[in-house]
A = this chain, B = another copy of it.
Amino acid sequence: MKVQAAQPVRVHPPTVVIVGVGLIGGSVGLAVRSRILSGRVIGVGRSSASLAEAKRCGAITETSTDLSRAAAEADIIVVATGVAAIPELLEQIDKAVRPGTLITDAGSTKATIVAAWEKRRRWRRGRFVGGHPIAGSHRRGPAAAAADLFTGRVTVVTPSKNTPAADAEEVGGFWASLGSTVFMMTPREHDFMLAATSHAPHVLAAAIAASTPPESRQLTAGGWRDTTRIAAGDPNLWADILLDNVTAVAKALSRIARNAEKILEALEKNDRKKLVSLLKRAKEDRDAVGS
């Protein structure tokens, strides 16, 4: 046997498949292309207009409307559609992938999605670990996508108790390579926290917007616009997110209602000292996060 001189290992650049090329999917594509050596980024979607736009923006290198065919070629697959569609897409994907293919998603809720995958874990071909890049916007579509959408933002990765640590690490590493800070937690922990930081505020932003008499709109300034901005989000996407996290959202809303009632009570009792102390506490909580 002839010993050859050592050759540098040629690392095959991964083929990335992105299912759903909206704001998040498009940004994954842009971030992958600007940060990772990747020959191919295949965008899969139902709307050929969105796919074409994503390609024009440079978010993907190829488009496909055949999920199974694209999945079979993937080294890693990111599902970035609305949450309601994800469980069924994971089933389709898993039937088509080569064994061991890494799969993650970008859904805003995690418990249902992970549970659906876990139910058939022992028959799976792919290695799925849920993800949620917390970097949304009320804007939509690939035109709003940005290569740095995840930079400095948090992505939560949600292994189940059966997920091999190596799979969680690999999926975490993928999201980290797009620029985000990765936190690992259980799907339930994620959903509980997001109810407080995103879902319940969304309900209230919508309620404030819907409660403002049209004739008062001309008297709105930055405060109202900030407070209600997320109410401009897509009603169908948000309906599915909220419906997938009802219990935690209801709890978060009741915590907020209790705190609002405390403020109102201090107001109605003309208890300025109490009122200032409640507003101070809220300001400290707000200031702790930064602008």
Chain A interface, >50% SS class: helix
* A223 touches which of B201, B207, B210 (Cβ 8 Å): B201
- Residues of B near A89 (CB, < 8 A) are none
* Contact call A207/B283, Cβ cutoff below 8 A: no
Known contacts A232-B283, A263-B207; A197 and B214 CB within 8 A of each other: no
Q: In the complex, A13→B211 CA distance in Å?
A: 45
Measured between alpha carbons, how far is A276 from B234 in the docked complex, in Å?
A: 9
Judge if A143 is at the interface, Cβ distance under 8 Å. no
Report Cα–Cα, A282/B255, bound state, in Å.
Answer: 22
A137 to B256, CA, bound (A): 23
A-B interface, 10 closest residue pairs, ranked by CB to CB distance from nearest: A206-B282, A235-B279, A207-B260, A207-B259, A193-B216, A209-B286, A231-B286, A211-B255, A210-B282, A209-B285
CB-defined A-B contacts under 8 Å, sample of 20: A134-B221, A136-B221, A137-B222, A156-B219, A197-B219, A197-B223, A198-B223, A203-B264, A205-B227, A206-B259, A207-B259, A209-B286, A223-B230, A226-B227, A229-B286, A229-B291, A235-B283, A243-B270, A250-B264, A250-B268
